[in-house]
Amino acid sequence: MTPFTVSYTGDYLDAEGRLAVPDIALDLYDAHPSVRVDYLRGQSPRPDDATYQSRLYSLEVSATDIADADGIVIFRPWVKASTFANGAERLTVIGRAGAGYDKIDLAACTANDVAVFNAPDTLTHATASSAFLLMIALAKRLPQQERIVRSGRWDQQAAAMGIDLPGKTLGIVGLGASGRELARLAAPWGMRIVAFSPRADAAEAAALGVALVGSLDDVFRKSDFVSLHNRLDASTRGMIGPRELRLMKASAYFINVARGEIVDQAALVTALRERWFAGAGLDVFEHEPLPADDPLVALDNVILTPHWLPSTLDAARLTMTTMANGIIRAAEGLVPAHVLNRDVLDRPGFRAKLARFAVTTDPLRTHR
C-alpha cells in the first residue's frame, strides 16, 4: 500500500515532546502500517518559550507544515487561505478534532482539493453535561458556599442560599446536538424548557418537551437560565450584547459552552459587575486563553473554566477515534465520514489525490 503520512498539530505535544493529551487513539493505526504518524513540531511548546500559552489559540498551519503531509489532524490551530500559499500537492484530508470548524477556511480547502472532516457527535454529551453542571453549580451558589468553608466564615451561610431547578425555565439558544442533549438532561428536573433555534424541527423539539420561541429576546426575557449552544459564524458573531443581557431577570444565570465570540465580552463584564443578572458560567471566551488580569477573573459571580470542561477522557477517546478512522479511510483511498465541504468530492484534483491510496474499485465510496 502507498504510505500515508498524517501530521497531528504540534499542540498535541508538551514542551518535552511528549503527548500532552493522554489518549489520541494512535493505537488504531497499529493494524494499518501504511499510516505514518508525525507532528507539526513548529507549533509545539518549547521549555524556554514563556509566550506559548498566550499564542496557543492563534497558532496557524503554515504552507511549510502541509508540504510533507497527506493528512492533518487539527487540535487548536487555524487553517487559513495562507496555509495554501504554495498549493497543496499532497495534502488530501484535514480532520478537525471536534465539532466546531470556525477556524478552518473551508472554501480555501475546497479550492485546493482538500476534504475536511470533523467529529460532530463525540462531544455532544460532554458539552451538554458541562452546561448542566454549570447550571447546577450556579443555582446552588457552589463557589460562594466553598468560599465560606475556606475562609472559616460559617456565619455567612444564609447569604449564600441557592435555588432549586424544578419550576424554573431553561432557555437554550441553538437546538442542535448539544442543545437537544441539554434538554434531555434537564427534562427529569421539572424545568420548563424553551429554545430559540430558527432551523429546529418543531416536532422534534416538542418530543423533547421543548417549546420553540419566536425570537432571541423571548429566551432572554423568560428564562431563569440561558445556555448558548449555537454555532459561531458570521451571523452569530457578537449576537449577544448589552441589549440582550439587559432583558434577563435579575435572578437569572447566563451559561456559554459554545463559542466566546458569540458574546460581546465587554458588555458581559459590565452586566456581571453591575449585577444586571445573578451570575454566569463560562467555558469559552472572546480571546483565548483568557488573560489572568482580565476583568472577568476578578468577579465573584462568575464560574470560569478554560475551554476544557467538556474535554473528558471519554469524549477525547471518542473524538480521536473518529479522527483516526477518518485518516485510515483516506489512507485506503476512501472518503472519511463527516466531510464538511462536500463539493470537494466531485473535484478531479481531490479524486486524483485520493486515488493514489485506493485499495478499492470505488474510491469515493463514503462511510455511512
Please pick, among 229, 307, 329, 338, the residue that the annotation labels catalytic: 307
Comparing CA positions, the residue from 107, 53, 98, 99 lying closest to residue 79 is: 107
Reading phi first (left if > 0) and then psi (alpha if -120 to 50, else beta), residue 113 is in left
Distance separating alpha carbons of residues 254 and 226, to the nearest angstrom? 5
Question: Among this protein's residues, is 288 annotated catalytic?
Answer: yes
Active-site hit among 90, 192, 288, 347: 288
Instruction: Give the Cα separation of 129 and 182 in Å (integer).
Output: 7
Is 307 noted as a catalytic residue in this protein?
A: yes
Compute the C-alpha angle 349/352/353, nearest 5°: 90
Helix (H) or strand (E) holding 279: strand 279-282
Listed in sequence order, the residues at least 6 apart from 148 whose beta carbon sits closer than 8 Å to its beta carbon are 154, 156, 157, 160
Which triple of cell numbers denotes residue 366? 463514503
Phi, psi of 235 (to 5 degrees): -80, -20
Q: Which of 96, 180, 229, 259 is catalytic?
A: 259
Question: Distance between CA 12 and CA 19 in Å, rounded?
Answer: 6
Q: Identify whether the C-beta of residue 105 lies closer than 8 Å to the C-beta of residue 61.
A: no
Locate 289 and state its grid cell.
Answer: 486563553
Q: Which residues are catalytic?
A: 259, 288, 307
